[in-house]
Structure 1
Amino acid sequence: MMVSFAGVVRPVVDRVHVSLRHASVPGVSALYGGVRPGIEVDAFYALLDHPVAESALAARMVYFAFDPDAEEARGLVARVNGSWELTGAGRERVLGVDRVFTEAAERLWSYRPIATMPGGEAVATAAGLIGRLLEAGQASGGPVFRALTPVWEPPGGSAAQRLVARLEALRHYRADAHRAAWGAAGLTVAEVQALGPGAVKDGIEAETNRLDDQVYEVLDEGERWLLLGALGALADGLSAP
């Protein structure tokens, strides 16, 4: 049976990403005074680098309740000539979010309860390999991925800071693949969200993996093992409730 590398690595990428976001909740909540963050946090690594087309951000938010007028009224992002941009206040706010994310990442990923865990070495390995994936994805990625890359990376930033931003961007590549797969199957957003187990859902997942696998073709087999091992070695701090 042919095994999809994208299908294997996807839950590992998601675990690392979700655990980092989870660890950052207290710090982000403090920055926002308990108010729920908006789209400036969903796309800030791109917005710090360049304006993002309205259509691309709407597609990014297709699974969620998204009110552009309400987002703009918060004063952190603004629509300018068909694109979203950060306001001055928005830029200051998301730079604070970046600091929270980076501090959480460095705390989690440097944790080595036993000597065989690689810590920072794995972070640097994963960041480098994912950087190559993002470059390769410019040729094969979907519209949201292309709109949300390149990501902002400050000069002199740590490997952990780079990995946080690059992981976020890599997940957009798969998200585009998933939207393309269920769209080709003739489903609406509501229909795909309501899908239960079965042939239709399995088919969409298989097509998503097929499209997502394209970006990993830039890596040879050994590099794929390195990426999977590096991400899998990172401590996540998650625990069952």
Structure 2
Amino acid sequence: MNSVELAPHRIAGLLAPAVDRVFRAGMLAGRDGGGAVLAQRYGGTAGTGFLVDLRTRLAAPGGRVDGPGFAAVTRYQDPVACSRAVDKQVAYGMLQRSADGTLSASERGAAFLSELYQVYADVTEELWAGHDERVSRMVAALGRLLSYALVLADEEGDDGGSAFTAMAPPYEPDGTPSGVLLLNRLGTLRYHRADAHAAAWAAAGHTAVSVAALPAGPERTAIELETDRRAAGPYTALGAEERLTLLADLAALPG
């Protein structure tokens, strides 16, 4: 029975809400634990919004997100509103945009991201205090998942529309605390599933707008099952017990 329950496509579906819960808890803790105050020093949301979203790539020296990658990351948002928001962040001196639409952090933006990483270090240490062994185990498992996901993406080829390849691997400078590693690896894994979901609803004839309005029912269920199938590949890098352990560890984290 366990072998069926822990098949890669099955664990992909089971892990998705657990990954979302823990990631969102970490991000909320960051906002309430100093991130919002920090952002105000750099122009507030108008100046920093996409830097937060793209932090795991733009914090890297020379880190960039190209136009198709940005479109994939923001596929559920209004592209006109996104363009205007980028305009503001460029005007604030936080983002730089090249002629082809590629985004990078300015010197000021990089300074903000460096401070933001420290905020996440502080809040995740507090949020997940007492779970050091569990966090370290998840960091290791997620590292293997993301590495294999990148291998699979390379083998399949990237046509420039992948949020995951735009954001992976997350920037992890030497000395990055385990809590930050966990938060950012979870966030990057979410982009992998987001791509799988987009491929599933596109194959079913939907757009980002129409699928968002799709009610619960057989069609949505079929899209979710197809998403699980498409998202399953990286989980073959873990054994059945490791998959179950990852699920149990996520469930045990507060937040």
The TM-score, its normalising length taken from structure 2, stands at 0.85
Deviates more, 1:175-184 or 1:222-231: 222-231
Superposed, 1:1-241 pairs within 5 Å as 3=5, 4-26=10-32, 27-33=34-40, 35-36=44-45, 37-49=48-60, 50-65=63-78, 66-74=81-89, 75-80=93-98, 82=100, 83-110=102-129, 112=130, 119-141=131-153, 143-236=162-255
Q: Which amino acid aligns with 2:52?
A: V
TM-fit CA distance, 1:139: 2.8
Does the aligned pair in 2 maintain the 1:185–1:204 contact within 8 Å? yes
TM-fit CA distance, 1:88: 0.7
Q: What stretches of structure 1 of length at least 5 have no aligned partner? A: 113-118, 237-241
Q: Which amino acid aligns with 1:132?
A: R
Q: SS at 2:226's partner residue?
A: helix
TM-fit CA distance, 1:48: 1.7
Cα distance in 1 for partners of 2:31, 2:170 equals 22
Deviates more, 1:207-216 or 1:44-53: 44-53
Q: What stretches of structure 2 of length at least 5 have no aligned partner? A: none
Cα distance in 1 for partners of 2:55, 2:242 equals 29
Cα distance in 2 for partners of 1:140, 1:206 equals 20
Comparing both structures, which one devotes a greater share of its residues to helix?
A: 2
Cα distance in 2 for partners of 1:158, 1:24 equals 14
Q: Alpha carbons of 1:97 and 1:105: their partners in 2 closer, same or farther (altered >3 Å)? A: same
Cα distance in 2 for partners of 1:211, 1:70 equals 32
Cα distance in 1 for partners of 2:135, 2:211 equals 34
The percent of aligned pairs where both chains have the same amino acid is 33
RMSD between aligned alpha carbons?
Answer: 1.7
Q: SS at 2:179's partner residue?
A: helix
Q: Which amino acid aligns with 2:58?
A: L
TM-fit CA distance, 1:80: 2.1
Per-residue CA deviations over 1:93-128 (Å, capped at 9, x if unaligned) read 122221112211110111x4xxxxxx1000000000
Per-residue CA deviations over 1:42-69 (Å, capped at 9, x if unaligned) read 1111112221111111111111234324
TM-fit CA distance, 1:70: 3.3
TM-fit CA distance, 1:73: 3.0
Q: Which amino acid aligns with 2:173?
A: P
Per-residue CA deviations over 1:196-241 (Å, capped at 9, x if unaligned) read 01111111100101111111111011111221122222121xxxxx
Cα distance in 1 for partners of 2:85, 2:242 equals 44
Does the aligned pair in 2 maintain the 1:102–1:164 contact within 8 Å? no
The TM-score, its normalising length taken from structure 1, stands at 0.89
| Number of equivalenced pairs | 229
Q: Which amino acid aligns with 1:179?
A: A
